[in-house]
């Protein structure tokens, strides 16, 4: 599979050179080509509808109401007073301001092992079921791979809407993620004249954001388990020189069994090893570390701050800083917790939400030994032998 991704990156780059005109990097497509593509899509749609005839499937067209918690996060991330670095481009806008529209229809199936499966690189090989998520520059769709009868998630990216280097980066990281069970895995990729398609494993349990919207507050055992699996995923990324830079419940998927998978590597920074640092205010404000918000150079410490905010959100049902002037509070204020919060949980959060990135990074090296995780068998956890202490319903 690794060879295919490498060949695809090279082939797509060559195709881009052939189709792009000199000057501005806007791709030109002839009217005849557009009409032919549209006719092809209509034929495929008719074919899909024919296959679905006879199946009894109830459709609900009502949209799920957007949780209040997500509204708060999106509002805060567009705060007028926020300082923006020159490095921010459309790439960040896609991830920090996108509104996801979830289809209420449930599609369930058995847990699938994709490891020894070969997936087709043509659009006609997939039967699309529904839209899972909608962004500014594309969408994620649930599809059935007809040859294997496996459900997959396909990310459709409109060519020219996202820098080619960003697409290539996400492809590389999806391939690398295959080495960790707590990261979202890429299966294959292909493209046509208008779009690029990233085929990924379908994670059936929804997102941690959806899970929190239903439960509001998790007990310590539930939060501890999710945090521990997130730690495994984060440490895998960091060991490969990758900072995620947009860790949040919306980008944390949950399997049908309840295991977590970190997703969406569009804002990730690569090759952050040794003394090398990243720059730019990338991410979502509520989960953004002080050094990122303050437009300083930063390393892996930024992800550990985001994890601290997520743990606080899971345990207390609230964010560690007051909503009023949230940016200033990230930089200056101390985190606030309920009085009933346990000593171990309070100490863990204080260390993850410390303003000093060096101290935060030093603590992260031994985070598995913290008293809050004393009940975790890390060896069994990494092998997914530990059963989640909750049920996931979609």
CA distance 344 to 373: 9
Q: Report d(CA 11, CA 7) in Å as an integer.
A: 6
Dihedral sign from CA coordinates of 187, 142, 135, 213? negative
Indicate the length of the chain as a whole number: 394
Q: How many CA atoms does the CB half-sphere of 376 hold within 13 Å?
A: 27
Residue 146 exposure: Cα atoms within 13 Å on the Cβ side: 12
Nearest-Å Rg of the Cα atoms of the chain is: 21
Contact (Cβ atoms closer than 8 angstroms) between residue 197 and residue 156: yes
How far apart CA 140 and CA 155 sit, in angstroms, is 4
Name the active-site residue from 210, 246, 264, 303: 246
Cα 208 from Cα 247, distance rounded (Å) = 11
Tell me, yes or no, if 264 is annotated catalytic: no
Q: Which residues pair with 158 in a beta bridge?
A: 195
Distance CA 281, CA 294 (A): 8
User: Within 13 Å and on the Cβ side, how many CA atoms surround 347?
Assistant: 10
Collapsed DSSP state (helix, strand, coil) of residue 187 = strand
Q: Residue with structure tokens 């550990």?
A: 304
Binding site annotation covers 28?
no
Report which DSSP code applies to 179: G
Q: How many CB atoms lie within 10 A of CB 190?
A: 20
- Note the Cα 229 to chain centre separation in Å: 15
Tokens matching residue 328: 């200033």
Q: Which residue is listed with tokens 């008293």?
A: 371
Rounded Cα distance between 208 and 154, Å, is 20
Give the burial class of 28: count Cβ atoms within 10 A of its Cβ; 0-12 exposed, 13-18 middle, 19 or more buried: exposed
Percent of the chain as helix, strand, coil, to the nearest 5: 40, 15, 45
Q: Which residue ranges are tagged as binding site for ATP?
A: 155
Q: Which residue ranges are tagged as binding site?
A: 155
Enumerate the active-site residues: 246
């Amino acid at each position: 599979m690794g060879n295919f991704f490498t060949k695809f990156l090279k082939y797509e780059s060559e195709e881009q050179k052939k189709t792009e005109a000199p000057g501005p990097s806007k791709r030109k497509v002839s009217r005849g080509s557009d009409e032919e593509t549209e006719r092809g899509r209509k034929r495929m749609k008719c074919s899909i509808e024919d296959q679905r005839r006879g199946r009894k499937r109830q459709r609900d067209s009502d949209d799920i109401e957007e949780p209040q918690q997500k509204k708060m996060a999106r509002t805060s991330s567009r705060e007028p007073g926020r300082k923006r670095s020159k490095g921010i481009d459309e790439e960040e806008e896609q991830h920090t301001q996108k509104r996801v529209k979830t289809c209420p229809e449930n599609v369930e199936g058995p847990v699938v092992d994709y490891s020894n499966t070969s997936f087709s690189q043509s659009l006609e090989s997939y039967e699309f079921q529904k839209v899972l998520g909608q962004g500014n520059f594309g969408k994620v769709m649930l599809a059935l791979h007809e040859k294997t009868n496996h459900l997959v998630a396909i990310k459709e990216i409109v060519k020219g809407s996202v820098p080619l280097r960003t697409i290539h980066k996400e492809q590389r990281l999806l391939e690398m993620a295959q080495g960790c069970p707590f990261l979202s895995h890429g299966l294959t990729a292909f493209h046509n004249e208008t779009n690029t398609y990233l085929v990924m494993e379908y994670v059936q349990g929804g997102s941690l954001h959806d899970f929190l919207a239903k439960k509001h507050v998790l007990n310590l055992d539930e939060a501890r388990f999710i945090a521990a699996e997130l730690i495994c995923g984060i440490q895998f990324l960091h060991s490969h020189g990758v900072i995620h830079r947009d860790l949040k419940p919306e980008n944390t998927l949950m399997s049908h069994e309840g295991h977590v998978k970190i997703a969406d590597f569009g804002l990730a920074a690569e090759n952050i090893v040794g003394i090398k640092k990243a720059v730019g205010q990338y991410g979502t404000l509520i989960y953004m570390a002080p050094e990122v918000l303050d437009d300083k150079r930063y390393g892996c410490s930024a992800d550990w701050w985001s994890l601290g905010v997520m743990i606080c959100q899971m345990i207390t049902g609230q964010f560690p800083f007051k909503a009023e002037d949230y940016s200033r509070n990230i930089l200056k204020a101390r985190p606030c917790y309920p009085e009933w919060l346990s000593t171990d949980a309070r100490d863990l959060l204080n260390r993850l939400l410390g303003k000093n990135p060096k101290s935060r990074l030093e603590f992260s090296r031994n985070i598995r030994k913290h008293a809050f995780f004393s009940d975790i068998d890390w060896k069994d956890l990494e092998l997914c032998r530990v059963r989640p202490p909750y049920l996931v319903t979609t």
